[in-house]
Amino acid sequence: MTMVGVVVATYNSARTIGACLHSLRAQTVGCEIALVDNHSSDATVAIAKPLVDHILICGPERSAQRNAGAAQLTCDVIGFIDSDMTLAPEVISDVATAVGRGAVSVVVPERTVGHGFWASVRAFERAFYLGDPNVEAARFFTRDAFATLGGFDEALTGGEDWDLARRARVLGPVGRTAADISHLEGGLTFREACRKKAYYAPGFKAFQAKHGTATTLQALNRLYVREPWRLVCPHPLLGAGLVVLKLGEVSAIAQTVVRTSHGPRLRRFGQVKSEHHDRT
């Protein structure tokens, strides 16, 4: 079996990092783990220390963290997992099998786990994306492919997953695992969901500048947009919640874009308040 390594980027991830790393250690095929922490002020590093092979403290953002972590690994295949995710026990085995069959990059399907209405809405939304190549992005890459591509584009703080996955498609086949990843949303609130999208808005703007408007429109051409009746049947309440959530996210993104475009002038008139956004 091909040896696989995983990079986990963290920032104040104490709530979920234990579950994430335990799921990696519970894999049916062992893997090498590098944790790259962006100067957390909570117990993230203390929790992670006995469960990982490498720990780095660096930033400034997720793309740079992932590249730094990849440089520490000595394996043939490199994967990137978020700190609020857990893996089914067979994920690493499935990845190794896919690479053994010739895949250059490997997609792992994701599902949302949480409690409360908005976590249920997010789970409903994510179900639309399974198998959609415009939305799903590979998380695992052969070392040679990752090196050839130069890793993650550190100028991107949003859409960097799509960017790397799109570039990797040129190098060879894309594999897919049967086992999945669980995204731990916890008790997601409407405000948290919108703020998270807004935080990455400048990054997505840079992604569009790099790949063009057509690519962005392609990524937004999602199943519930093409077939809106699926929002009503069989879960009309969750469908209505998804519409409200998307409108809230669009509004938050628009405000962030305006703020970052005109920030110096607005701050001069005292019209902007800075906010910290949790990157986990």
Rg, the chain, Cα only: 19
| pLDDT higher than 90, residue 35 | yes
User: 201 falls in which pLDDT band (50, 70, 90)?
Assistant: confident
Query: Which tokens hold the place of 182?
Result: 């669980």
Q: Percentage of the chain with pLDDT > 70?
A: 92
| 118 CB-near residues (< 8 Å, 6+ apart) | 188, 189, 190, 193, 241, 245
Neighbouring CB atoms inside 10 A of 106's CB total 26
d(CA 110, CA 136): 9
| 103 CB-near residues (< 8 Å, 6+ apart) | 172, 173, 174, 175
Place of tokens 């789970």: 123
pLDDT at 113: 95
Least confident of 30-34, 96-100, 187-191, 230-234: 230-234
Q: What are phi and psi of 141, to 5 degrees?
A: -140, 145
User: 221 falls in which pLDDT band (50, 70, 90)?
Assistant: confident
pTM beyond 0.85: yes
Q: What string of H, E and C letters represents the secondary structure of the chain?
A: CCCEEEEEEECCCCCCHHHHHHHHHCCCCCEEEEEEECCCCCCHHHHHHHHCCEEEECCCCHHHHHHHHHHHCCCCEEEEEECCEEECCCHHHHHHHHHHCCCCEEECCEEEEECCHHHHHHHHHHHCCCCCCCCCCCCEEEHHHHHHHCCCCCCCCCCHHHHHHHHHHCCCCEEECCCCEEEEEECCCHHHHHHHHHHCHHHHHHHHHHHCHHHHHHHHCCHHHHCHHHHCCCCHHHHHHHHHHHHHHHHHHHHHHHHHHHHHHHHHCCCCCCCCCCCC
Query: Which tokens hold the place of 94?
Result: 């499935």
Domains and CATH numbers, the chain: 4-117+135-187 (3.90.550.10)
pLDDT at 268: 32
The tens digit of pLDDT for each residue in 60-93 reads: 999 999 999 999 999 999 999 999 999 999 999 9
Q: How far is CA 59 from its chain centroid?
A: 17
Query: Which tokens hold the place of 197?
Result: 């999208």
| pLDDT higher than 50, residue 275 | no
pLDDT at 263: 53
The tens digit of pLDDT for each residue in 172-187 reads: 999 999 999 999 999 9
User: 262 falls in which pLDDT band (50, 70, 90)?
Assistant: low
| pLDDT higher than 60, residue 135 | yes
d(CA 190, CA 244): 9
> Which of 276, 200, 199 lies closest to 12, judged by CA?
276
User: 38 falls in which pLDDT band (50, 70, 90)?
Assistant: very high
**Section 114-127 average pLDDT:** 96
d(CA 7, CA 67): 9
